[in-house]
């Protein structure tokens, strides 16, 4: 995907979105990441056109991505000074690093669940005696 010409997401990119969702990311965040992963910077409108997300969905998706430090946002005033500024977004963390972070979070979460299951088994044994 280039920075200046809207294109549709490919089947591969939809698969990546699905996989990101399976790791716990909301659909809108996963979609925004996929739109940005191969670009230097995209306008909000471009993300809307490529992804099919509405403007409010793009804005809402970007907030937690900015909070995680994965996305940077900049605003640029329109030439005539009327209307809202144009928002530009870019990933500040390379996509492979995002995948690694998600993997670490997944493993930590599952480790905590395994500990809880082990404790449940131990409690069941104690209760039977």
> Which domains can be identified in the chain, with CATH numbers?
9-92 (1.10.10.10)
Q: What DSSP string describes 28-73?
A: HHHHHHHHHTT-S-EEHHHHHHHH---HHHHHHHHHHHHHTTSEEE
Rounded to a whole number of angstroms, the distance between the first and last alpha carbons of the chain is 63
* Token code pair at residue 52: 């099919």
pTM of the predicted model, to two decimals? 0.81
The whole-angstrom separation of Cα 63 and Cα 2 is 23
Which residue in 104, 88, 84 sits closest to 96, CA to CA?
104
* Token code pair at residue 72: 């940077």
The whole-angstrom separation of Cα 81 and Cα 94 is 34
The whole-angstrom separation of Cα 49 and Cα 9 is 10
pLDDT digits (tens, 9 = 90+) for 20-73: 999 999 999 999 999 999 988 999 999 999 999 999 999 999 999 999 999 999
Structure confidence at residue 7 as a pLDDT band (50, 70, 90):
low
pLDDT digits (tens, 9 = 90+) for 101-112: 999 999 998 999
């Amino acid at each position: 995907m280039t920075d200046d010409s809207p294109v549709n997401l490919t089947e591969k990119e939809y698969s990546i979105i699905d996989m990101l969702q399976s790791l716990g990311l909301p659909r809108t965040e996963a979609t925004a990441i996929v739109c940005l992963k191969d670009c230097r910077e995209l306008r909000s409108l471009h993300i809307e056109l490529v992804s099919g997300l509405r403007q409010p969905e793009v804005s809402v998706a970007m907030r937690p991505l900015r909070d995680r430090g994965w996305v940077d946002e900049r605003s640029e005033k329109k030439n005539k000074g009327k209307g809202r500024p144009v928002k530009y977004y870019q990933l500040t963390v390379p996509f492979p690093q995002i995948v690694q972070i998600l993997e670490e979070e997944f493993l930590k979460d599952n480790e905590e669940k395994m500990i809880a299951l082990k404790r449940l088994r131990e409690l069941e044994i104690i209760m039977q005696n």
